[in-house]
Each structure stands twice: as structure tokens, then as C-alpha cells.
Amino acid sequence: MDTLTHILKSVKQFQTELTNWYRQHHRRLPWRETANPYQIWVSEVMLQQTQVKTVLRYYDPFLAAFPHISHLAGADAQAVLKAWEGLGYYARARNLHRAAQIVCDQHDGSVPSDPDDFQKLPGVGDYIAAAVQSIAFNRPLAVVDGNVKRVLARLNQISAPVNHSSSYQHFKAIATQLLDQAQPGQFNQAMMELGATVCRPKKPECGNCPVQMFCKSFQKNTINEYPRRTPSKPIPEYHIAVGVVSHNNRLLITRRSNDGLLGGLWEFPGGKIRRQETAEAACIREIWEEVNLRVEIRSYITRIKHAYTHFKIVMDVFHCLYISGKVKLNGPVAYQWITTDEISKYPFPKANHKFFGRIRELFEERG
């Protein structure tokens, strides 16, 4: 921790420069205009893994749908996923929903101000606990997210890779030493804001940086060397075939189990194409395996490409006609036969949204 000595000698000045800058320059964001712990919690859950500009589209509508924690606790799980649709990382929504129910059952509907109680709730890890407890309750817990790690790495020329979980405690210890104990919420937000708006990943604006005088990378002209990262593995790409099965003017959709990626969301049945298998054959096989129906391909609808964080998909979508069988689920946990007008009632993954327009055109053309 010797790298930090140069800041710790004048840590008060560091905190003052940073928080003064924050007060003058921070972006006006709706979750910064409230002291309501529930609203702050919702914003922090949304902001995990998601950019501010995206969260801005979801935050107000979500709170309009669930203005109080008791509304969220009492809501149907599918309504919560629908409000979250497109934000991704749906485990966040499912955990927030379950946590709201526990808060209403066990804490009289008040977000726990005790960090230990709060951290026992589903989905509340180290980041959410520190962010919500410091901002809403002024608890002296240092936040460490990607922005904070980048700022710290540059300030102190830290070689520990920021994308490796083994480095987390190292960054946490440094952030804790710098934390302004008197106003931890504001200090944490200032560190994150500095990383988001000034000490950006590319081309940091060192000329406008309030803590430039403490920055070793700036002084040694090594900014481009920090933060360090371990090389990431190449992102795999999967080829998927999906069938829009129609029968009596209705389309078959299935719901994924709550566990795992896109848990609880609805989709059209399908799956990965095997080696040496055609997309058409994979579509027919997957529908048979997942829902026990015999279908035939009526037409090719479209090809969709979509990138998730850890992999990419290329999805070939077919219109399939029902031939025979009774739905028996193997994998999905529910199914519905719906009209095209009803598609918007259900939460679907973003990749599926990319071909909804084509489905509507197709079935409107065919009447």
C-alpha cells in the first residue's frame, strides 16, 4: 500500500478537491435528487452493468409502476420483468423483487439502514451495499466499481488487473483509506463521477481533473499504461435456429426457467444448431425436444445478430406450421398460444424484439 503515501499525507485535501468539484460539476440525474433509500436502491441496481443513458429510460417508468417498495413487493414477477425488459441481467430484477418482499415482511417496508441486515437481502453484494448504505444512510463504506478502479489505478499506478476478481480487495482497501468518513455518500459518488466523466477509459481529461496534483500516472506520463487488464478470452459466437410456430392464428411462446441467463423471460422455441446440421433441421428438432410438437418449415423469416456480454448469437428465424402433438415442456417452464397483438404483453429478450416487426408484417400479410 506504499503507493498511496503521497495521497494519504494530504488525504483531507484530496477529499476536499474531489467533493468540491463534484458539487459544481456533477450531472443532474433523477436518482441524485432523492434521499429515498428505495429509489436510490433501484437506481444502483439498474446502474450495475448498465450505462447511465440506458438507465435514464427505465428509472422513472419503473418507479411510476412501483412507486413504493410495497408496490414492488406485491407485484407479479412477470410485471417486474416487463418493466425491466431490455435492461438485461434479469437476475437483478428478480432479486430486487424478492428483496422487496423480504423488506416488507421482515422490516416493515423500510430499507434496512444496518449494512449487515441489508447485505443479507437477495442481490445485495458488496457494491450495492456500499453504494446504497453510503448514499442513503451515510454509512462509511467505500464503493468500488469499474470507474473507481480506473481512477485508483491511474492515481497510484496500480498494476493489479482491474478485470480480475483477485484484485478487488486491493482496490477496496485503497478506496477505504481515501473515503471521506464524514460524507461517504458524496465522496463515493464523486469518485464514480470522476471516472465516468473525466478519468474516462480513453482520452481522460487530465486538464480538468480536480485531483491531477495527486496523480502518479499524470506526473510520470504513464496514463495509457493504466488500468492494467488481463487479456480477455475471445467471445464465442453461437448459431441458433428459432421457430415461430403458428396454429389457428396463434403463435407458440415459451417461458425460460428463472435460473440462468434471461431467466423468466418468454421466447420462441429453438436452440443451438449442431455441427453438420442445417438451421431448418435444428429448428424442427429443437421444437420437438423442447415442446414435443411436430412442425414443418413454412418460410424463412430473417437472420438476427445480437451480442451479449460473454457471447454473440446469430439467430435464423423460421415460420413453422404445426403438424401434430400436444405441448409437453422439456426445459421451458410455461407456454402460451398468443395472437400477434399480445406479443407486447410479455417480457422477451432484446434479440427477439429485433424480429417482432417481421412477424407482425408476415401475419398481417397473411391475415
Please report, as ranges, the residues that interact with ligand SF4 according to CB under 6 A: 151, 154-155, 198-199, 204, 206, 209, 211-212, 215, 217-218, 223
Task: Tell me if residue 87 falls in helix, strand or coil.
Answer: coil
- SS3 percent helix, strand, coil of the chain, rounded to 5, is 50, 15, 35
**Active-site residue (options: 17, 33, 44, 225):** 44
CB of 58: closest distance to ligand SF4 in angstroms? Answer: 29
Count CB atoms within 10 A of the CB of residue 268.
23
- Where are the extended beta strands (E) located within the chain? 237-247, 250-255, 266-267, 270-272, 294-307, 312-324, 334-338
Q: Which is nearer to ligand SF4, 90 or 218 (CB)?
A: 218
CB of 157: closest distance to ligand SF4 in angstroms? Answer: 10
In whole angstroms, what is the distance from residue 123 CA to residue 7 CA? 34
CB of 143: closest distance to ligand SF4 in angstroms? Answer: 16
CB of 211: closest distance to ligand SF4 in angstroms? Answer: 6
In whole angstroms, what is the distance from residue 331 CA to residue 274 CA? 18
Q: Which is nearer to ligand SF4, 214 or 348 (CB)?
A: 214
290 part of the active site: no
Q: Which is nearer to ligand SF4, 209 or 262 (CB)?
A: 209
Residues 6+ apart with CB under 8 A from 67: none
DSSP letters for 200-226: -SSS--GGG-TTGGG-HHHHHT-GGG-
Q: Which is nearer to ligand SF4, 211 or 359 (CB)?
A: 211
Q: Which is nearer to ligand SF4, 148 or 351 (CB)?
A: 148
In whole angstroms, what is the distance from residue 84 CA to residue 104 CA? 21
CB of 13: closest distance to ligand SF4 in angstroms? Answer: 15
**Mind telling me the catalytic residues?**
44
